[in-house]
Amino acid sequence: MKKLPQSLHLKLQLREQNNALRQLPVANDLIDFSSNDYLGFARSESIFNQTHQYLLENGIKINGATGSRLISGNHNLYSITENHIAQFHQSESALIFNSGYDANVGFFSSVPQRNDIILYDELCHASIRDGIQMSKAKSYKFQHNDLDDLEKLIRKLSTDNSQPKTVYITTESVFSMDGDSPNLEQLVQLSEKYHCLLVVDEAHSLGVFGEQGEGLFQISNLQDAVFARIVTFGKGLGCHGAAILGSSELKNYLVNFARSFIYTTGLSPHSVATILIAYQHLQSEKEAVNQLKNNIQLFNQHKTQLGLKPLFVYSKSAIQCAIIPGNEKVKHIATQLQDNGFDVKAILSPTVPEAQERLRFCIHSYNTEKEISEVLKLLASLVF
């Protein structure tokens, strides 16, 4: 077998020397404080059984999509599910992609044009940044959740009127590595003041915020002010895939120009049916959403009582991050938590900036108060 080129071998060596080498984890039965399965839908037997029953009742006995959606893979379940998603999110249309990564890459690589400008939060997800890199538009980052910095950037760029352009403001409603959120109302006001188009990734908001887990922008009644919302199903919905919400014209454009949509095999009927059933569960079974909210409150209360609050990034979401600088130190503490039965993951640089390494706690509807209390007591004993 051919050896890895020396240049690549050296990159791996450097990553190992910096104690930052990524490795695939081994499956475990530890108490879950690491997965994105916020509502427990991924482990729901009810969703599993109802999905299977739905496929049988509708005579759908096929394992794969058989091709891209533009060729042979656009089975009827797609239109049923997209219509359901659009109605749920009070959007004119929804277009399903195979993943959140595909949705962001597809949108940002195709929608902003050569003379356009993309202004993005410096902590936006890698999928957004990768899509921006593929775009022909110019792009500039603004300081995290700093709308004053964003406005300064808009004003600076607006002095150049040499070419007609559209300005896109891009952010997340809940940031995946911090769990915090921008000021939504001020963000919308700013975008409307300067006639910018707002694009928001709601991956970690769906299923977490709202009576039915609708997401932050929708419960704030701001959904109509957003040009495009990206919702993903691998977190709160516990399945797979994503959708871009927006106008029917935007959907038509993406079908024609988003390469990550056009040139890939569609999701299987089983995958799309699971998305549909998961959405129905959001609407019919609110207990999990309410319990998740209670557990987030409990986590915040316990960390305050234990004096841990200064370690944590401010967050009211299911993502709670304790900043513990240094790859070696944060990995050591994560290992001790895991050795005591708690699956808490260390997030290392370069995934996050140096000196911003952290423990990332994901809260779930199925975590008990005892589990929350014990993991935080153990953390306090390790850091104080």
Tens-digit pLDDT string for the chain (384 aa): 999 999 999 999 999 998 888 899 888 999 999 999 999 999 999 999 999 999 999 999 999 999 999 999 999 999 999 999 999 999 999 999 999 999 999 999 999 999 999 999 999 999 999 999 999 999 999 999 999 999 999 999 877 666 668 999 999 999 999 999 999 999 999 999 999 999 999 999 999 999 999 999 999 999 999 999 999 999 999 999 999 999 999 999 999 999 999 999 999 999 999 999 999 999 998 899 999 999 999 999 999 999 999 999 999 999 999 999 999 999 999 999 999 999 999 999 988 999 999 999 999 999 999 999 999 999 999 998
Kindly compute the dihedral angle of the four CA atoms of residues 30, 319, 139, 230, in this order, to the nearest 10 degrees.
Answer: 90
- Measure the CA–CA gap between 284 and 178, rounded to whole angstroms: 30
Q: 271, exposed or middle or buried, with CB in 10 Å at 0-12, 13-18, 19+?
A: buried
Q: Which pLDDT belongs to residue 162?
A: 62
Q: What is the longest distance spanned by two Cα atoms in the chain?
A: 62
Kindly compute the dihedral angle of the four CA atoms of residues 296, 302, 308, 312, in this order, to the nearest 10 degrees.
Answer: 0
Residue carrying structure tokens 């977490």 = 208
Q: Which pLDDT belongs to residue 285?
A: 82
Q: What domains can you pick out in the chain, each with its CATH number?
A: 29-42+286-383 (3.90.1150.10), 62-284 (3.40.640.10)
Q: Report the interhelical angle of 269-284 vs 76-88 (nearest 10°).
A: 30
Q: Are 215 and 205 in contact (CB under 8 A)?
A: yes
Tokens of residue 77, six digits: 């379940």
How many other CB atoms are found less than 10 A from the CB of residue 123? 21
Q: Are 235 and 26 in contact (CB under 8 A)?
A: no
- Measure the CA–CA gap between 217 and 205, rounded to whole angstroms: 9
Q: Which pLDDT belongs to residue 161?
A: 67
Asked whether the CA dihedral 102, 104, 107, 113 is positive or negative, the reply is negative
Q: Which pLDDT belongs to residue 179?
A: 95
Q: Which amino acid is at 144?
A: H
- Which of 335, 276, 309 lies closest to 54 in space, CA to CA? 276
Q: Which pLDDT belongs to residue 163?
A: 67
Helix H or strand E segment including 292: helix 287-305
Tokens of residue 129, six digits: 């940044």
- Measure the CA–CA gap between 226 and 168, rounded to whole angstroms: 11
Q: Which pLDDT belongs to residue 158?
A: 78
Residue carrying structure tokens 């990034």 = 313
- Measure the CA–CA gap between 334 and 328, rounded to whole angstroms: 10
Quickly list DSSP for 12-61: HHHHHHTT----PPPP--SEESS-S-TTSGGG-HHHHHHHHHHHHHTT--
Q: What is the pTM of this model?
A: 0.95
Q: 143, exposed or middle or buried, with CB in 10 Å at 0-12, 13-18, 19+?
A: middle
- Which of 331, 333, 376, 335 lies closest to 351 in space, CA to CA? 331
Please list the helix, strand and coil fractions of the chain in percent, rounded to the nearest 5, in that order.
45, 15, 40
Rg (alpha carbons) of the chain, rounded to whole number: 22
Which residues have C-beta within 8 Å of that of residue 200, sequence separation ≥ 6?
170, 171, 172, 173, 217, 226, 228, 229, 230
